[in-house]
Amino acid sequence: MARISGVDLPKKKRIEYGLTYVYGIGLHASRKILDATGIDYNKRVYELSEDDVAAITKEIRANHTVEGDLRKQVAMDIKALMDLGSYRGLRHRRGLPCRGQKTKTNARTRKGKRKTVGAA
């Protein structure tokens, strides 16, 4: 089992898709990493040698922000918006969608369980 950036990659998947299990690495970034390290996209995770894993880890550390550092950066960006008092920051603070979606009937994911008002 390959462990990269603190994440156990699924053994049977192709490495191209297995790398996307790391927070901050999508398919495009995964392909860039594999091109830089010279590893074939079709190789399975369990087929990787220790040298391959080390090369991927080195490439990720050098050129990508992933996992804990990225989560921290995103949280700080949201906190900065809230401290500024911008529209997006206010929407984050109130727990409402901040990208222009309507909220009259939808947005249950952000708003949470319905709170009935005025039921007799």
Q: What is the pLDDT along the chain (120 residues), one digit of tens a residue?
A: 689 989 999 999 999 999 999 999 999 999 999 999 999 999 999 999 999 999 999 999 999 999 999 999 999 999 999 999 999 999 999 999 999 999 998 999 999 998 888 776
First to last CA, the chain: 58
Helix, strand, coil percentages, rounded to 5, for the chain: 55, 5, 40
Q: In terms of domains, do 58 and 82 share one?
A: no
Domain count, the chain: 2
Q: In terms of domains, do 89 and 41 share one?
A: no
d(CA 93, CA 82): 7
The predicted model scores a pTM of 0.81
CATH number at residue 11: 1.10.8.50
* Per-residue model confidence (pLDDT) at position 65: 94
> Is 116 a domain residue?
no
Query: What is residue 4's three-state secondary structure?
Result: strand
Q: Which residues contact 113 (CB under 8 A, 6 or more apart)?
A: none
Between CA 109 and CA 112, with CA 111 as vertex, the angle to 5 degrees is 70
> Is 81 a domain residue?
yes
* Per-residue model confidence (pLDDT) at position 54: 95
44: which DSSP letter? B
Cβ–Cβ < 8 Å for 2, 53? yes
- State which residues form the domain around 34: 3-64
- Among the candidates 64, 79, 98, a domain finishes at 64
